[in-house]
Structure 1
Amino acid sequence: MLTKISSAWNTSSAHTLYFVLNARGGDTTNYLNDVIIPEKNISGTIVNTITNSSIYTIDYRNFWNRDVNDPRIIINSDALPGSNQSSSNESAIYKQGYALGIMIDSVLRVTGASKVILLGHSMGGLAIREYLQRKENGIRKWWVDPNDTVSGHRVAKVITIGTPHLGTDVSNVPFTGIDYNSEAMRDMRITFSSGSGAYIFGNAESNVSSNFYNKDIDCNGSQSDIVSGINSGNIDNPIYSLPLNIRYTWIMSTYLFFGSDLAVPFGNQALYNASSFVPLNVTDTLRTNKNHIQETGDTWSLVRGLDEPGSKNFAYDISSGVLYSGYITLQSGNISTDNDYFKLNTSKPGEVKINLSSLTGSGVTTASIISESDSILQTRSVSASSDSLSYKGPSGNYYLKITGNSSQNPNQNYYNFKATSVPSPELNITLGIEGMQSASGLVQDTIRIFLRSSTAPFNKVDSAVLYLNSSGEASASFLNLNPGNYYIQTQHRNALETWSAAPVNFATGIVTDYNFTGSQSQAFGNNLFLISGKWCLFSGDVNGDGIIELADLIQIYNDAANFASGYISTDLTGDNVVGLEDVLIAYNNSVNFVEVRRP
């Protein structure tokens, strides 16, 4: 199973950051001085660097050479800064949360991802909660972006296993070598002789039992503070609660008949309010039967805990062209149907293509593309080892929903998929319109563009309605267009239909520029008129029959005589009034027998 996970998610020991959390040690050391990340090891080799990957780990079991001028890390060392002080791996949860924030920021910078998934064992789960919950002066203290009060944590999902969410008073865990006087054991306590455990439930630091190396819960150099716990009873402290835009899975374990995993009581491995686990509506729980040491190897439970989001609101963001993997997993209540949701944002109109692979034995039965409004845009039943589906649409968010049956080897075989956003061919066009063009620019107006086949009978293939700016420029994407050569045809409320001089090449994902105003030869049959240095479409074909003639002139004249106004086709100049100037433009073009020229 570990081999399968490694293959699916590219695990590697090369993607670890090594922290020292007890660099100075002592009772009065501020966390900023105690947490360091030396770049090099004792030999001078750079070891604290990460590259693009899928899974990262944070390692606290280290020490350093204690040289502030040339700090070097000693990886996997249990050395102590002094007698009666905690090792780095058993340092305060407060410092662990601070280090975790640095780790998350580093991973996001390296990968370009928008969020991370956090998985913590034992006190690692409390470090996650410390990162997510801690506030100072009303501001989230450790978040990557504390100014983003909603999503600045940059976390998509949290999984904990064997975590003492409600504390533990265990005094002996076999085969662990735990230092029961350490800061970490102090922070995980349910009670002291003088009341509740300060880190989890809140208490005065002065009430911390004297057998621990220090009483500085909040790592600020003082041991006389009043500490507000991360819990309020059995739930997270509402003063700095867990964010509700994250999915949580608490994996709980009881070993044999002990009622615990030998380190944490079973009922203390989750947060709950009466019979409901919290945070409400975003929390899932799993039960396993491993002892505390075995939990890190409980791959079945961990993969189940990592189950992809089962609702659109929590869909994982995915990038175009990247291969992803997922698992069809058994759901709570032994429900075998599993839905996995992913979100792809497209910045331009075009085609969303989904390619599915490694489907044999994965349990996948159906794949669907869903809109932001929950409409099913495309769906496909899956039976082969690979399949695909696609949809053409405007820019925006599209959701991939993968449905499967976990009774087919649940959690054993992953599926792969790649979502690709293929922008449609795009046109940047520049036009002038005779009556609306002047030295100061073009009166802004709407025009329709048709793309036509390059060969007779020159069928319409796609179209777009554009709004020309004062420079005569506009852009459009064509969803129904295949790459190739097409004539550009214009259609305006009172300008003559005009075609490009020759077919124009359009390619997928490429912007094609076409400027009618630069030269008379840009139009088929040189059918343009020069105004203020720009070649423009002829004005006056108000009835759209392809010729400017007496019928158009009479219609314009009658509206002028009746002082017609507004957005009407007989207003050739675009000033919202039909007058003599409009009549003269149409008259001149009619006597010159101006008409459409087509291939």
Structure 2
Amino acid sequence: NHDGSNTTASLTNDISVIGWRDGNSTPSPNRLYVINFDNSKFIEAGHTTHSLSNQAAIYKQGVALKAMIEAVLTIENADKVILVGHSMGGLETREYLQRGYNGTANGRGTNWVDQTSEFGHRVARVVSLGTPHLGSNHSGGILTAILNGADEKSEAIRDLRYTQSGSVTPYLFGGNEASFFWNPAPYNKDVNCNGSALDNITSLSSGTTYNASMPLPLNIRYTWITSNFIGLNQDGLVELSRQSLHSGVSITPQSADTLLLRINHIDEPNNIQAIIRGIDEPADTNYAYKLRAEQLTKGYITYGMNLNKNDADAFLFKALSSGIMVLTITDSNSGTDSVLVYNGESLLSQNVIQSGTNTININDIVEGKTYYIVITGTATNSSWENPYSLICKVENPDGVVD
């Protein structure tokens, strides 16, 4: 909310990218990055007028997330990012992915960083924790306590609401901005931040799932982490049934899964085990994570949906030269069992992974071909704390590495 006005909204005037807080353009050692709307941090950076920037319209947040993704891709020289969003952060992610996207192969989201590809969102995986995918109508003291001083008249709180008698809720479920009525009334009703409060809004959600006319991309894996705190069928802020997208008893989209916690809303982002389970490497090679030659990659053997202990992690490697693939896998109580290497549908190699360092050679690797490396394992209560490491490279017969 860069211009400091709460009564007007503008995607042009309200969004200002300050940049990395420490001014450092080198990669994060742990490859973790945080998008921060905290007003106090803006003041420290010399920007003192950002009234309610931490409670701005989700339309604005989607544009800001685009800038963040661009910055991370640049600093990491990466192809994709993994997005983990707590509470409204999950809606921010959906805003980025869904807005303007029609679900076709030629469709592109308005905010996608790359408009040339159906993978132009540049997102590998999405995890939400306690997100009000279908809204939250909590108000009063509990809202203020949980959201640390939330202003119930702010744009963000306006956008979180779900339909009640006598009012539409345009952001989540569609309708005309002028038809939104709530007590207390919001500072403004300009949901799409274009200077008018008379527009019909295309919603993120429809019924209990996403809006089919502006869907989530299906080339991403999703995990909805939900929580039922002390048996209340909510986490203290969001009703359990509204923390995920579903059609009947089936989670949507089809590539999604869920995890169920039993903690309150504010503690959800501190549950590292759940987050690691959520971002777990996909078993399906259609969603395989890309490996780079000689780059150390760490992975986790974790429980899956319904506490399934059998885990498989799929990676993709494109050979830049012909020769011998050398895999180096290190296991230290990581729960790994075996590694399989495929050339398309054909199994080229299968090896048991021993404790310690394992070196595996696969001959006759062909330049330009794509190979899939699948690591299987058996999850335990502690395997998520002990990642395995993987390095892949191709050596030419004369010893040159690519």
* TM-score normalised according to structure 1 size: 0.62
Given the superposition, is the C-alpha separation of residues 126 and 76 from structure 1 closer, same or farther in structure 2, using an over 3 Å criterion?
Answer: farther
> Which of residues 205, 209, 212 is equivalent to 1:235?
209
For structure 2, the 5+ residue unaligned runs are none
Residue 48 of structure 1, CA deviation: 4.5
Partner of 2:253: 279
Residue 51 of structure 1, CA deviation: 2.1
Partner of 1:58: 35
Give the Cα–Cα distance (whole angstroms) in 2 for the partners of residues 135 and 55 of structure 1. Answer: 28
Output aligned runs, 1:450-469, within 5 Å.
none
Q: Which has the larger radius of gyration?
A: 1
DSSP 3-state at the match of 1:239: coil
Give the Cα–Cα distance (whole angstroms) in 2 for the partners of residues 266 and 78 of structure 1. Answer: 38
Partner of 2:52: 87
Give the Cα–Cα distance (whole angstroms) in 1 for the partners of residues 243 and 393 of structure 2. Answer: 41
> Which of residues 328, 339, 347 is equivalent to 1:376?
347
Give the Cα–Cα distance (whole angstroms) in 2 for the partners of residues 76 and 509 of structure 1. Answer: 45
> Which of residues 12, 29, 43 is equivalent to 1:74?
43
Contact 1:325 1:414 in 2 (8 A): yes
Given the superposition, is the C-alpha separation of residues 192 and 221 from structure 1 closer, same or farther in structure 2, using an over 3 Å criterion?
Answer: farther
Deviations 1:425-463 (A, max 9, x none): xxxxxxxxxxxxxxxxxxxxxxxxxxxxxxxxxxxxxxx
Contact 1:328 1:411 in 2 (8 A): yes
Contact 2:90 2:131 in 1 (8 A): yes
Partner of 1:189: 161
Output aligned runs, 1:195-210, within 5 Å.
195-209=167-181
Paired letter, 1:217: V
Give the Cα–Cα distance (whole angstroms) in 1 for the partners of residues 25 and 263 of structure 2. Answer: 32
Given the superposition, is the C-alpha separation of residues 50 and 239 from structure 1 closer, same or farther in structure 2, using an over 3 Å criterion?
Answer: farther
For structure 1, the 5+ residue unaligned runs are 1-20, 41-45, 65-72, 425-481, 484-506, 511-599
Partner of 2:227: 253
Q: Cα RMSD between the aligned structures?
A: 2.2
* In the alignment, structure 1 residue 35 sits paired with structure 2 residue 7: no
Residue 136 of structure 1, CA deviation: 7.8
Partner of 2:100: 135
Partner of 1:555: none
Give the Cα–Cα distance (whole angstroms) in 2 for the partners of residues 139 and 345 of structure 1. Answer: 26
> Which of residues 176, 187, 197 is equivalent to 1:213?
187
Give the Cα–Cα distance (whole angstroms) in 1 for the partners of residues 326 and 3 of structure 2. Answer: 51
DSSP 3-state at the match of 1:58: coil
Give the Cα–Cα distance (whole angstroms) in 1 for the partners of residues 81 and 53 of structure 2. Answer: 24
> Which of residues 381, 391, 394 is equivalent to 1:418?
391
Given the superposition, is the C-alpha separation of residues 78 and 234 from structure 1 closer, same or farther in structure 2, using an over 3 Å criterion?
Answer: farther
> Which of residues 20, 23, 33 is equivalent to 2:3?
23
Given the superposition, is the C-alpha separation of residues 105 and 190 from structure 1 closer, same or farther in structure 2, using an over 3 Å criterion?
Answer: same
Give the Cα–Cα distance (whole angstroms) in 1 for the partners of residues 373 and 187 of structure 2. Answer: 52
Deviations 1:17-73 (A, max 9, x none): xxxx34342433321210002359xxxxx7444422311111011379xxxxxxxx4
Paired letter, 1:140: G
Residue 295 of structure 1, CA deviation: 0.5
Given the superposition, is the C-alpha separation of residues 292 and 39 from structure 1 closer, same or farther in structure 2, using an over 3 Å criterion?
Answer: closer
Contact 1:27 1:221 in 2 (8 A): no
Partner of 1:337: 310
Paired letter, 2:7: D
DSSP 3-state at the match of 2:235: coil
Give the Cα–Cα distance (whole angstroms) in 2 for the partners of residues 409 and 143 of structure 1. Answer: 37
* In the alignment, structure 1 residue 401 sits paired with structure 2 residue 374: yes
Residue 207 of structure 1, CA deviation: 1.5
Given the superposition, is the C-alpha separation of residues 129 and 330 from structure 1 closer, same or farther in structure 2, using an over 3 Å criterion?
Answer: same
Partner of 1:315: 288
Output aligned runs, 1:492-503, within 5 Å.
none
> Which of residues 99, 102, 110 is equivalent to 2:64?
99
Aligned-pair identity in percent equals 36
The structure, 1 or 2, with the larger RCO (C-alpha pairs under 8 Å, 6+ apart) is 2
Give the Cα–Cα distance (whole angstroms) in 1 for the partners of residues 109 and 237 of structure 2. Answer: 31
Partner of 1:349: 322
* TM-score normalised according to structure 2 size: 0.91
Give the Cα–Cα distance (whole angstroms) in 2 for the partners of residues 192 and 48 of structure 1. Answer: 45
Residue 408 of structure 1, CA deviation: 6.2
Residue 407 of structure 1, CA deviation: 2.6
Deviations 1:496-520 (A, max 9, x none): xxxxxxxxxxx6359xxxxxxxxxx
Given the superposition, is the C-alpha separation of residues 378 and 140 from structure 1 closer, same or farther in structure 2, using an over 3 Å criterion?
Answer: same
Partner of 1:145: 114
Partner of 1:553: none
Give the Cα–Cα distance (whole angstroms) in 1 for the partners of residues 24 and 166 of structure 2. Answer: 44
Partner of 1:124: 89
Partner of 1:385: 356
Given the superposition, is the C-alpha separation of residues 75 and 124 from structure 1 closer, same or farther in structure 2, using an over 3 Å criterion?
Answer: farther
DSSP 3-state at the match of 1:129: helix
DSSP 3-state at the match of 2:231: coil
